[in-house]
Chain A
């Protein structure tokens, strides 16, 4: 069995990415590739649903950091949802919880993009 499988789907103007398994130096290209595919399609609103993510090493965090400037420069954002305690702990250790918006559910992450687009919000 592969250490990582990554699926993606598009919902309106949000790209949803589902990594399942382990992201480390061996598997990170799969994850990075899915982020890049979204950017190539000029889709800069991205939600990474971490429900199936068991573990993330610095290679995976570097993939997110390597893309975030381009995403935000184009008016988008990469937001995360449904992290388990292990993954959240790694984000906290590195101070990433201050750099990224993390939501308990995928729906809340999706709605956060819509809320930003509503007039007066």
Chain B
């Protein structure tokens, strides 16, 4: 099994409940999805998000990483996926970067659940789910790389967790 390439702490040391940013580079292999999920969930809880929200963060990052493997890299293993985690104050930001094929967010399939089963589709739910799980999901290009940026905001006191 391929090995994770690099885990690197970035930024100054902070209190244990406010972890510094972290950069994780993994190969484009679905065998690493469990690692991605576990790291994301742990960072979410360290940043003080409730367990249920940390679960949602982990699922969104899992879905994004899966999309990179399947679409940007067309299922080919051995390419690099870089995940930049920035738990900071009132929001948790994650950027997922890859060197695969350019992704056109306008071309991403929209899911109509009423028709989905009848069409016997299996894909497309991930992008839909990411949008439901996170407060913001944006796609772009930076220095020739695909960048998916996701943000989860901490709910204000007294408001139910979204």
Contact = CB atoms under 8 A, between A and B. Distances in A.
B113 interface: yes
B62 A95 contact: no
Interface stretch (A9-17, A20-28, A44-52, A103-111): A20-28
Interface stretch (B11-19, B82-90, B124-132, B139-147): B124-132
From DSSP, what is the main secondary structure of chain B's interface residues?
Answer: helix
From DSSP, what is the main secondary structure of chain A's interface residues?
Answer: helix
Q: How many residues of A sit at the interface, in one of the four size bands?
A: 20 to 34
Nearest to B111: A94
A94 B129 contact: yes
Q: How many residues of B sit at the interface, in one of the four size bands?
A: 20 to 34
B59 to A, nearest CB: 6
Interface string B85-128: 00000000000000000000000000001001110111101101
Nearest to A57: B62
Interface string B53-97: 001101100110010011000000000000000000000000000
Contacts of B69: 25
